[in-house]
């Protein structure tokens, strides 16, 4: 019966994909773009192709269903990313196992954008004042293994954005399914995840008030509020397949691929590979293709990274690094450290 419920859920997720047909025709018209910034050096180094095998606390951004696929009762992770245009992305998460219920996790992603000059129509070169945009995503996740092969997960994200005197708040949900041992083949896995499903957001605040003057002297100038247009979230549907080829007791190779369909961008095709030695040192690489874009419009492509594990008694420490090549900007560098208890 549990497998039937999972199949029904997968069918519903695929059906909703019909909403996203021709998403590339609306490039750049969505909002809450902070949701699209990835977290976690392992997934980034694989080009985001890991939705079918990611596990533990590393899975929160990519596919929450993988959260429950861990041997640890408690995990914590922290990472720092140098994003484009000198933007810094800080990320942290912690998870715990509730016996008989499933895995729960809390995560926070914050952007450090820096100060921006305030400009107006009267002072296009700046008023002398500055403001610092604040963008934050806080998530609560739950995942559970329905069997030794099937897991499901859900993340609810609180989105907050503040730009000077205006701000917006919204909610987004990620739903994922993961199946290992696909077709009875050991090492073959499948994953499906729908991201950023939620209501529209809208900016509000005193920054939308403008002063209007009367053309006559019958009344003094008054403030009027501009109503900002609402905007949709950048939703996506991703499904992927991966195969872990165990060479011998010391060496293994993981090959992965993911297809991503977006409602406000063209489709992405992601490829990744990971070589692991002695279950302790991993070397990773990935590549993202976007054939719906013009040659110079898609700025991402090659990714690479390395990671290591070290057991310190009852605690396992993982250190990871990822690099993502970016056109027109400096490449993204991501450093992360995780703990498992």
**What per-residue confidence (pLDDT) applies to 294?**
80
Q: Look at the alpha carbons of 147, 149, 152, 153 in this order and tell me if their dihedral is positive or negative.
A: positive
Three-point CA angle 82, 95, 315, nearest 5°:
90
3-class DSSP state for residue 266? coil
**What per-residue confidence (pLDDT) applies to 215?**
67
**What per-residue confidence (pLDDT) applies to 7?**
52
User: How would residue 186 be classed by pLDDT, with cut points 50, 70 and 90?
Assistant: very high
Domain that holds residue 31: 2-340
| Residue 8 pLDDT exceeds 50 | no
**What per-residue confidence (pLDDT) applies to 26?**
58
| Residue 62 pLDDT exceeds 80 | yes
Which percentage of the chain shows pLDDT scores above 70?
Answer: 89
Spatial separation of the C-alpha atoms in residues 192 and 147, rounded to whole Å: 17
**What per-residue confidence (pLDDT) applies to 19?**
47
Torsion of CA 199, 200, 203, 208, to 10 degrees: -130
User: How would residue 14 be classed by pLDDT, with cut points 50, 70 and 90?
Assistant: low
Q: 276-312, pLDDT tens digit by residue?
A: 999 999 999 999 999 988 877 889 989 999 999 999 8
Question: Is 6 or 69 the better-scoring residue by pLDDT?
Answer: 69
Spatial separation of the C-alpha atoms in residues 301 and 48, rounded to whole Å: 11
| Residue 15 pLDDT exceeds 50 | no
User: How would residue 266 be classed by pLDDT, with cut points 50, 70 and 90?
Assistant: confident
**What CATH number should be reported for the domain holding residue 301?**
2.40.160.40
User: How would residue 79 be classed by pLDDT, with cut points 50, 70 and 90?
Assistant: very high
**What per-residue confidence (pLDDT) applies to 85?**
86
Question: Is 137 or 206 the better-scoring residue by pLDDT?
Answer: 137
Q: Are 59 and 69 in contact (CB under 8 A)?
A: yes
User: How would residue 219 be classed by pLDDT, with cut points 50, 70 and 90?
Assistant: low
Q: 82-110, pLDDT tens digit by residue?
A: 999 889 999 999 999 999 999 999 999 99
Give whole-number Cα distances, 96 to 26, 72, 78, 155, in Å.
39, 8, 16, 15
**What per-residue confidence (pLDDT) applies to 112?**
94
Output the average pLDDT for the chain. Answer: 89
Q: How many domains does the chain have?
A: 1
Q: Are 193 and 65 in contact (CB under 8 A)?
A: yes
By mean pLDDT, which of 9-18, 101-110, 115-124 is the weakest?
Answer: 9-18
Rounded to the nearest angstrom, the gap between the alpha carbon of residue 327 and the centroid of all alpha carbons in its chain is: 20
User: How would residue 1 be classed by pLDDT, with cut points 50, 70 and 90?
Assistant: very low
| Residue 33 pLDDT exceeds 80 | yes
Backbone phi, psi, residue 34, to 5°: -60, -25
Averaged pLDDT, 185-195 = 94
Neighbours of 46 (CB within 10 A): 31
Averaged pLDDT, 119-144 = 92
| Residue 213 pLDDT exceeds 90 | no
Q: pTM of the prediction? A: 0.90
3-class DSSP state for residue 333? strand
């Amino acid at each position: 019966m549990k497998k039937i419920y999972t199949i029904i859920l997968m069918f519903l997720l695929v059906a909703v994909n019909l909403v996203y047909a021709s998403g590339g025709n609306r490039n750049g018209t969505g909002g809450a773009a902070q949701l699209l910034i990835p977290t976690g050096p392992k997934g980034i180094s694989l080009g985001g192709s890991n939705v079918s095998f990611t596990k533990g606390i590393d899975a929160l951004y990519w596919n929450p269903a993988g959260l429950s696929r861990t041997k640890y009762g408690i995990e914590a992770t922290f990472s720092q990313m140098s994003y484009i245009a000198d933007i810094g992305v800080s990320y942290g998460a912690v998870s715990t196992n509730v016996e008989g219920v499933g895995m729960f996790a809390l995560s926070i992603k914050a952007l450090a954008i820096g100060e921006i000059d305030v400009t107006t129509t009267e002072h296009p070169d700046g008023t002398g004042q500055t403001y610092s945009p604040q963008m934050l995503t806080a998530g609560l996740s739950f995942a559970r293994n329905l069997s030794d092969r099937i897991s499901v997960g859900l993340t609810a994200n609180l989105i907050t954005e503040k730009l000077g005197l205006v701000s917006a708040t919204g909610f987004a949900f990620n739903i994922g399914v993961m199946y290992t041992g696909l077709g009875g083949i050991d090492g073959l896995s499948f994953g499906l995840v729908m991201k950023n499903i939620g209501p529209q957001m809208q900016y509000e605040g005193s920054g939308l008030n403008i002063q209007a003057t009367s053309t006559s002297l019958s009344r003094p100038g008054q403030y009027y509020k501009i109503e900002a247009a609402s905007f949709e979230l950048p939703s996506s549907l991703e499904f992927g397949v991966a195969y872990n080829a165990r060479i011998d007791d010391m060496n293994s190779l993981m090959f992965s691929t993911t297809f991503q369909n977006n409602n406000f961008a063209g489709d992405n095709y992601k490829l990744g590979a990971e070589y692991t030695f002695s279950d302790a040192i991993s070397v990773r690489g990935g590549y993202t293709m976007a054939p719906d874009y013009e040659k110079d419009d898609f700025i991402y492509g090659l990714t690479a990274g390395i990671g290591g594990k070290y057991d310190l008694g009852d605690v396992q420490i993982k250190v990871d690094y990822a690099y993502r090549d970016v056109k027109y900007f400096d490449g993204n560098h991501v450093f992360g450290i995780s703990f498992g208890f």
